[in-house]
Structure formats: structure tokens, C-alpha cells
Structure 1
Amino acid sequence: MTDSGSELDPYLDYLSLTIRTFNQLMSRIPGSEIIYRYIKSSHQNDPFRTLLELLLVFFVIRTWRQSRTRGDFGPDQSFLKLTEKVDELIAEWEPEPLVEPIPVTTQSLSRPPIIIGIPDVRPKILYGEPALRFVESSEDEATIDPKDIRTVTNLASINFAGLIGDERVKLRAIEQLRRSGVGSCGPPGFYGTFDVHMELERDIAQFIGLPSSIIYAQGFSTTSSVIPAFSKRGDIIVVDRGANFSIQKGIQISRSTIRWYDHNDYNSLERVLEQLKLEEIKFRRKLTRKFIITEGLFECDGTLCNLKKIIELKEKYKFRLILDETWSIGSIGVTGRGLTEYFGIHPESVDILVGSLATSFNSGGGFCAGSKEVVSHQRINSAALVFSAALPPLLATAASETIKILSEKDGLQRFERLRKNTEVFREILDEIVEEGLVDVPSNRESPMVHINLRPMIGKSVSSSKRPSSSSSDTTTTTATMTTTNATSRTTNKRNTNASSVFEEHERILQTIVDKSVLEKNVLITRTKKVWEQEIDPPLPSIRICLSAGLGVDEVSSSGKALVKVIREVLNFN
């Protein structure tokens, strides 16, 4: 035993020396004592725990080395090898385009003008072939021939008060631009709110006559965000079938129960409200929020809603009213304060009033006015307000300055001129309406005028100018475009016959637009819609926007020129 012990002594001495040397080296490393104490306390007479931690350390080291050394090539690569057949299928696969190509008919009808400078009442434009050449030319070759520039009377731009290009508004916007820059750089709830935003909210509330208001950065998103902020799943919304696209999207997002009533038919509205009342009693429904949603001045045809009748019904059946005054604020009423002023109704009778700053207020964005509770609820519950950057300060300043102008004597005179221009223009259009050439459904006091072709007129022009399409059925237009089944309102497809009638009407209307611009220097436009997405698509039309910036003589000459063009196109000279 002594001999064997003496034989192992050198090995034990070497092991002891190695351990002492290792301990000395470890003690020189900063923080080694902390690691030693951790290992000692972690061991706790439990070798399995120590073994598990060692395995985890080795696993981390191995994973780290693999992530740094693995490559696309070499014997150790871990990528799946595909068969030749799969490679061939991948090579043959053609992905669908992210955006569908524009149909040929849409391209042929799309002839937007290029406006040179400010789109005021007498702008300079490029139209037709010169505009197309300019758009399709490269950046180096993009030049404008002065001979192609024409000055036109602008009946297309939304400029009811005639303040587009006003020097007072422009100077105030430039001052604000130099003070705060271009954008707001954040949502209103964070650091995107400027003093001019709060001033504009006070100006809007004071102009309309309501306790409070709130502004949005996008006009379209205003209505489509306000509706779902108040109406949720299980709530009830009753909507006019002529409601604009923004309202349609808002009620879809809300996921509420939707009931439709016929456009501007208040007997239909009362029947729907009465039916809902009976259903509540029959099925013992829980108390829920109920809204009536309509427009003041309808975008689809220029008609006015009967606000007195709607308020009477909403109070009778205990509904709240959301009124979209996008087109009526700044155009209807003695001082341009919208439908409440027109009917002599106090604005507080409307629970939620929404509108746009882009129609008559020379700016961008939108607003919602109402009680302080209605406004404060939106600050944390309206998606467009919470998740979008605030309105640029220069646009807020421009809107405030416009409201200031409209509130003074100058504004009153502008609305008087606007009403006079509207009256003169409608008297001129009465000639072709009485002759049976067109329909003008718009209210006689509306500065936005829609001109529709009568179905049989469209058919006769189609058969005389395009014999190949004479077989298209136009007698079913009314039936296909106006359906009484409420469930069909959720579909986005129209009957094939109605689609062909729409396309034919749009071709004829575009011909009228082209001749009006090229031969008479009167700029007008078709109503632009994505028909497939409209719940109840309105008839194609020419939309005229009259302006207080035009003189009566200009309106009269433009109206007579338009009537002459319509007669020529429809072959009624």
C-alpha cells in the first residue's frame, strides 16, 4: 500500500499545483470572487443542479457558434433542398399584381386637367392631349407650350365662398408656416397640438353655435371615425340610402345593426323607426344606443334633408341625430352656417354635427361639434384622432382666418352673391329640364348642382352614336339601381344591365365635359365614384360647384354655353 501511495504522490502533487495555479489565475480576474460565491451558493450540495447549469452554458455556447458559422453553402448547411419539380413550379409561378390594372373604359374617361397655379374661379389649365403629353413625358422633357394653356371659368372646384387664393388667408398661412413649420409631428393627444388648433376649435364652435368642437386631420376620416366612436356592436343605426361614402364606411366599421330608409323619404323613416319600436317591445331588447344618420346637403344629388321633420321623429322615438354638414356648412343659410340656420333650428337640437374644413373653409381636415361630453369622448375613443398626426398648423390658421372673414360683413355679401349665382344658373338649366333632356335633382338653393341624363336619352344617344351597343337594356335602370331589400345594402355588386347603363351615361357625360372645356372654356367635371364599392350607387352625373367669386354675367354665359353643349351632344340642336 505504501508503494502504491508513493507512486500516486507525484500525480496528486501535480493536480494540487494545477488547482492552486488555476485559483491564482482566477483570483486575478475582476469579479471572479462574485462568480465563485455564485457557484458555491448555487451548488447547495445538489450536483444535479450544477450539472444542469453547466449543460445550459454549453448549449448557449454551441448555439452561438452555430449562428456565426452556418452558411448557405458547404457540407454543414441546414437548408432544405428542393426537388427539380418544385423548382420548376416556382419558376413558372406568376404572382397577382398588388393593384388591379385600371379598366380601359376608366382610362378613356379619365381626363383630369392640369391646373397651373391656384384653382381659383379663373384658373389656367392644360386639358386633353397637352395634359396627357405633360404627364407621360420624362422629367427632363416636361415642358409646357404656352399655346396649350387656356384660361377657363371654374365650375368644378369646391369654392363656394370664393376664397381660394385670397391674399388674407394666404398671408396668415405663410406666417404660421414660418413660425411652426409644415407638419404637426404627432397626434393631438401627445405633442401634436398647437395653440392654433385650440383656437380653431373655439372658432368653429362659435361659428356654428355649439358649446365645443374638435378637429381632425382628414376630412374623409372624420365621419368614418366619429360614427364608430359612439356606436358599437349591438347599437342601432338608421341611415338614409343616399348617404355619402364616408358615412357608409363609418357604419361598416361600427358593426352596429343597420336599418336603411329611402332617400329623403320621411314616411319611410317613420316606418323604420316604428318597426324598431315594435321589435323592442316584442323581443324585450335591452336598452341600447340608437342613432339617425343623414347629410345636410347630399353629396350624391345636391338635395337637402328636411331637418325639422328628422328632429321631430328623433325626439318622438328617442333617437340621437348625427348630421353630416360637409357640403352645407359655408354654402347654405343666410350667413353660411348650414342647415340649422336654413331651417331656423337651434344647433343644439343636433346631437353630433360633423363637417369638412376643405369645402368652404379654405383648408384641409374635418371637425365634429356638439356638447362638451361629445367632444371629450372623442379625444380618447376616436381612431382617426388618436392614431393620426394632428392637422398641420398652417391649415388650422387658414381655416380660422376664413371663418373670421365669413363672420364679417364681407362674408354676408359673399353668400348673397352665391345665392344670386345659384338662382341665375338654375333658371338657365330649367330650359333643358323642361325639354326633357336632363334631370336636375338638386335643391334650387344648393350651389352644388347635379345634372343627370334621363335613361331614355342615354339610350337614344347610344343607339345613334354607337350602333353596336343599341341592345343594352336601359329600361331597367331604376329597378336595378334602387332596391328595397335592406339586406342587399351590404353587397357591393350591381346588376350587369345597370353597370352597362352607368358606363354608357359616363361616356356621354364625359363628352359633354370635354366639349365644354375645349370649345367653351368652361371647366366642369363628372361625379367620380367607385361604383363597385357604393352600397346604393347614385346615377352618374355632372357636378357643378358655383362660387361667390364669379360675377352674375360669368355664371349666365357659362350656363348658356353648357346648355348649348348638352344640346349638341344629345343631338337636340
Structure 2
Amino acid sequence: MNSGTGSGDLKKSKHSQESSSKDAFFFYLTISMILLITIVRDSLTYLGILRSYEPVDPRKEEGYVKLYKGLQSFATRNIYRRIRDCWNRPIVGVPDACVTLKDRETYDNGITFQFTGTTKRCINMGSYNYLGFSENQGLCHETSKKSIQKYGVGMTSFRRELGDTLHLLELEDLVAEYIGTEAAMTFGMGFATNSLNIPGLVKKGDLVISDQCNHASLVLGMRLSGCAVNIFKHNDMQDLEKVLRNAIVFGDLRTRRPWKRIVIVVEGIYSMEGSIVKLPEIMRLKKKYKAYLYVDEAHSIGAIGPSGKGVVDYFGLDVRDVDIMMGTFTKSFGAAGGYIAGSKALIDHLKTVSHGWCYATSMSPPVAQQIISAIRIILGRDLPGEGQRRIAQLLSNSRYLRRRLKENGFPIIGDEDSPVVPLMIHTLHGITVFSRKMKELGIATVVVGFPATKVFEQRARFCCSASHTKEMLDQTMDAIIEAAEFLGMKRTKGRR
């Protein structure tokens, strides 16, 4: 059994460095200057001296109240728009170990972009292609192509009507077997798997205890359900137990009644933190306080565990102790959609109340076939040994990249076995300069800033893949070192 220990908790990680007073001073100074310049520019625009680039509301002349704000928000107009070349980069071809980016340029400070007609080939360190199944050759590609010839690309109907196929029934049986549960159900969109199924599990009078770093799809599902939500500090088991104890002792403070149900909601791997959930301790607490457990394995299924079966497999626990297993096919399987797995009673219940099941169009046949082929490879039924090779390679790559970053003194967070490796940069200007420089050096990566993170916890995020070679990771490290030196990034003395 894996210990699961590591630097997953941002607060406890020795590589997590608080932003210096100097960084904070320049950040607030920059924001103050932007605010001052914005007030002057907006005043000149209002007086007609400067041209406005904001979109015109087509109903304005008819006396309608504004329906939307467009680019009027301060952050969008004056910060994001000027640096948005670091995001939404169009790609050409398959996002495998390498990816081709379409070059573009702007002449109006990011309001519009024009393609230059050129491209840049980069090592892909940004996609969630953990097991390397995002590819345009091989078994998954061939079987998906055959499914298009047989079924077409769309079902144009719900599962309850004419949207069922043998592919989907086979997929759900295979997912249940792969996860180790009695039954499973699948959906065409990963985000909706959370947001449209949680309302079928909890409602007003129920309490969800949620990790503070849970994904937006989980948060939306909780809001739609009408349940009460209490937050506990990220991966902090003492705080979780405190919240659980208070929930049992005090109940619903508004009605003075006990909660009807208490559900703990966590993720297997947190995509912004790179941390692995402390599942053994959560299991102990959920049993102690008789709470249900919902685990979102979007980033952990296929990516960790000796057999690639996610966080339960990683810790060597019994999947039956998790009440609701959720995951997506968009990462490790190179496809789309998501699943809910659990007891047959749970799945039968959700099939009657889930909006995602009752009203959403069925999963596309080639997508379903892609997932089937990927799982069969992982289980060793097709291409024996290939699935295990990919799982081992992903783990080796994740540990290697982390070790190299630590040796060179970079402040990284997350657990050693996590394929998500966040590099703390802290400042907004830092992540934009870093992103542009990395692209120039042939590395496609993702940077994340405020408000997606806290003001001084902005970061670059690297995603390892089984399709990466050691040479690719070494080239990535060389680029990171060069970009960090160009940026003047602080590093601790490397361990040799």
C-alpha cells in the first residue's frame, strides 16, 4: 500500500514559498497604476476623445436594459485582455506528446487575433493525456474509426428513448468491472456528470462537506441541489473531523434539526494542487461519523494505482467503502464524458432522477468505442502488457520531472506520484512572461492565475504523460531553467 504522503498540502509543503513583501508591493502598485490609467482612459472614451473598442449592445437603441456586460468588467478589459495570448491557443492535429500551435498576433491589445499562417511544434506539457491514448494511430484509433462506419458520429436521442446502443451497454458493464462496483452509468460530458447528478443525490436538509479545492463542476452541482455546504481546509483531516463533529452535534442551525444526510465530497487528484486525497483517513472518518463519501476521480482514474484504477487502487482500499465513485474519460482515456459507479441501487436511483441521463443526448459511438478500447488495453485483454507499460511509464515520468525540478531548487507542490506538477510563480506578470518564453522555447504549458488561484499563488502547471520520453522531459527542464533565469525567478539551492 502506498503511503500517499508528499507535499500535497500547499501550506505544509517546504517548497511552497510565500510571496515576498517586495512582490506584494509591486503587485499592488501595478494594480493601482492600472486602475488610475483605466479611470483616465474611460473618462476620455466617455467624452468621445478616445475610440471605444467595447461591443455594442444591439438592443441599446430600443431602450432595453443591458442583457450582458461583455468586456466591460475591469479585470477583463484591463488585465486579461492584454495577456490572453497566453490562453486559448488554437492547436493543429492530435494533442499527443507533442502538439502544433497555430501562430497568431494582435494589433489591438488582445481584442482580436489574426493567424499568421505559421505554426510551432511544441512538447505538450499542458494536456491531460496521462496514459497517451490521445493518438491518431493504433488500436483505439482503428476501432473508433470502424464504429463511425457502423453507427455514425451522433445518436440524436436520449438514453431513455432511442439513444441506447450495444456500445454503451458494453461500456457501462466494462466500467463497473474496471472500477470494481456492481454497476455504472455513463454520460457524454464530464463536467455535467458532477453538476447534473449531485442534485439527484442531495437536496435541502442534507449537508455536503466539501474540500475547499474541489472543482467547479462539484460546486455547481451542490448549488443546484439546494443542500447546505460546509467547507474544510484542503486535505486537512483535523479540520474535516472538526466540521463533521460540529455537523453531528449541532445539526442544521436554522431548523434545529439533525441533517438528513451528510456527504463528504473530495477529488482523487486535485488538478490545481497536484495533491492526492488522503483517502485512508477520510475512510476512517466517514465510518466513524456515518457519512457518505463521494470521490471525483477525474484526474486519478487511470493515472495512479498499480493497476491504473485510481485512488482506491493506489491506497489498496476496498472500493465498496466509497459510496459514489465518479470519474471522467477526458484525461487518461483520451476521450470525452464521465461515469458514476457504485451499487446497483444507486445507479437505478440516478437513472430516474438524473437530468444528465434523462435529457442529455447519448454519448457518441466512436467516443464510447475509444473508451472501451482504452480500458481493454489497461486490463490487458487487448495488447497484453501495453496498459501496464503505460501506467509504469507515467509514474516514472511524474517522479522524474518532480525530482529534476526539486534538484534545481524550484518551488513545486503536490504529491510525488501525481502526474500534475504545479510550479509556483506567484505573480501575474510572472506567469505571462513564463508562458510566452516557454512557447518560444518549444514547450506548450498551462499557467493559472487570479481569480482561479489566490492572488499570490499563481502557477504554471505541467501534466506528465506516458507518451513523454526522458529526452522530452530533459528538454522541458532546460526550457524551465532558461525561462526562470529570464524571469529572474527565485530558487532555493538545488539538492545534488
TM-score by length of 2: 0.79
Equivalent of 2:331 in 353, 356, 359: 359
Structure 1 residues 287-313: Cα deviation after superposition (integer angstroms, max 9, x where no partner): 612101011101221111110000100
In structure 1, what is the equivalent of residue 470 of structure 2?
552
1:541 matches 2:463? no
Equivalent of 2:192 in 221, 225, 235: 221
Amino acid at match of 1:509: I
Structure 1 residues 84-132: Cα deviation after superposition (integer angstroms, max 9, x where no partner): xxxxxx9584752535214242122222333221111122222353999
Task: Tell whether the 8 Å contact from 2:209 to 2:229 is kept in structure 1 after alignment.
Answer: yes
In structure 2, what is the equivalent of residue 272 of structure 1?
243
Residues 293, 537 of structure 1: alpha-carbon distance in 2 compared, 3 angstrom cutoff: farther
In structure 1, what is the equivalent of residue 261 of structure 2?
289
In structure 1, what is the equivalent of residue 172 of structure 2?
201
Question: Whole-Å Cα distance in 2 between the matches of residues 546 and 403 of structure 1?
Answer: 20
In structure 2, what is the equivalent of residue 308 of structure 1?
280
Amino acid at match of 1:508: G
Residues 113, 127 of structure 1: alpha-carbon distance in 2 compared, 3 angstrom cutoff: farther
In structure 2, what is the equivalent of residue 508 of structure 1?
430
Task: Tell whether the 8 Å contact from 1:428 to 1:560 is kept in structure 2 after alignment.
Answer: no
In structure 2, what is the equivalent of residue 349 of structure 1?
321
- Paired-residue identity, %: 24
Equivalent of 1:430 in 384, 387, 406: 406
In structure 2, what is the equivalent of residue 163 of structure 1?
133
1:334 matches 2:334? no
In structure 2, what is the equivalent of residue 527 of structure 1?
448
Amino acid at match of 2:438: S
Task: Tell whether the 8 Å contact from 1:242 to 1:538 is kept in structure 2 after alignment.
Answer: no
The CA deviation at 1:538 is: 9.2
Question: Whole-Å Cα distance in 2 between the matches of residues 241 and 302 of structure 1?
Answer: 14
Residues 150, 287 of structure 1: alpha-carbon distance in 2 compared, 3 angstrom cutoff: closer
In structure 2, what is the equivalent of residue 260 of structure 1?
231
The CA deviation at 1:259 is: 1.2
The CA deviation at 1:529 is: 7.4
Question: Whole-Å Cα distance in 1 between the matches of residues 107 and 312 of structure 2?
Answer: 42
The CA deviation at 1:375 is: 0.7
The CA deviation at 1:539 is: 3.1
Residues 126, 210 of structure 1: alpha-carbon distance in 2 compared, 3 angstrom cutoff: same
Residues 346, 400 of structure 1: alpha-carbon distance in 2 compared, 3 angstrom cutoff: same
Structure 1 residues 180-207: Cα deviation after superposition (integer angstroms, max 9, x where no partner): 1111111111111111011111111111
The range that moved more, 180-189 or 554-563, is 554-563
Equivalent of 1:172 in 143, 151, 167: 143
Residues 131, 295 of structure 1: alpha-carbon distance in 2 compared, 3 angstrom cutoff: farther
Question: Whole-Å Cα distance in 2 between the matches of residues 251 and 572 of structure 1?
Answer: 40
Question: Whole-Å Cα distance in 2 between the matches of residues 270 and 93 of structure 1?
Answer: 55
Q: Which has the higher strand share?
A: 2
Task: Tell whether the 8 Å contact from 2:104 to 2:113 is kept in structure 1 after alignment.
Answer: no
Question: Whole-Å Cα distance in 2 between the matches of residues 296 and 324 of structure 1?
Answer: 6
Question: Whole-Å Cα distance in 1 between the matches of residues 433 and 237 of structure 2?
Answer: 37
Task: Tell whether the 8 Å contact from 1:125 to 1:152 is kept in structure 2 after alignment.
Answer: yes
1:121 matches 2:97? yes
Amino acid at match of 2:303: S
Q: Which ranges in structure 1 are unaligned for 5 or more consecutive residues?
A: 1-89, 455-504
Structure 1 residues 441-490: Cα deviation after superposition (integer angstroms, max 9, x where no partner): 21111111111225xxxxxxxxxxxxxxxxxxxxxxxxxxxxxxxxxxxx
In structure 2, what is the equivalent of residue 70 of structure 1?
none
Residues 384, 131 of structure 1: alpha-carbon distance in 2 compared, 3 angstrom cutoff: farther
Q: Which has the higher helix share?
A: 1
SS at match of 2:265: strand
Amino acid at match of 2:120: R
Of structures 1 and 2, the one with the larger relative CO (CA 8 A, separation 6+) is 2
Question: Whole-Å Cα distance in 2 between the matches of residues 344 and 558 of structure 1?
Answer: 33
Q: Which ranges in structure 2 are unaligned for 5 or more consecutive residues?
A: 1-59, 492-496
Alignment map for 1:416-455 (pairs within 5 Å): 416-432=392-408, 434=409, 439-454=411-426
Question: Whole-Å Cα distance in 1 between the matches of residues 404 and 168 of structure 2?
Answer: 43
Equivalent of 1:239 in 200, 210, 235: 210
Q: Spell out structure 1 runs of 4+ moving beyond 6 A.
A: 130-133, 281-284
In structure 1, what is the equivalent of residue 488 of structure 2?
570
Amino acid at match of 1:115: I
Residues 566, 181 of structure 1: alpha-carbon distance in 2 compared, 3 angstrom cutoff: same
The CA deviation at 1:280 is: 4.2
TM-score by length of 1: 0.69
Question: Whole-Å Cα distance in 2 between the matches of residues 507 and 160 of structure 1?
Answer: 29
SS at match of 1:242: coil
SS at match of 1:127: strand
Q: How many residues align?
A: 418
Equivalent of 2:80 in 106, 109, 124: 106
Instruction: Give the structure with higher Rg (CA).
Output: 1
Task: Tell whether the 8 Å contact from 1:423 to 1:445 is kept in structure 2 after alignment.
Answer: yes
Task: Tell whether the 8 Å contact from 2:144 to 2:367 is kept in structure 1 after alignment.
Answer: yes
Question: Whole-Å Cα distance in 2 between the matches of residues 123 and 299 of structure 1?
Answer: 21
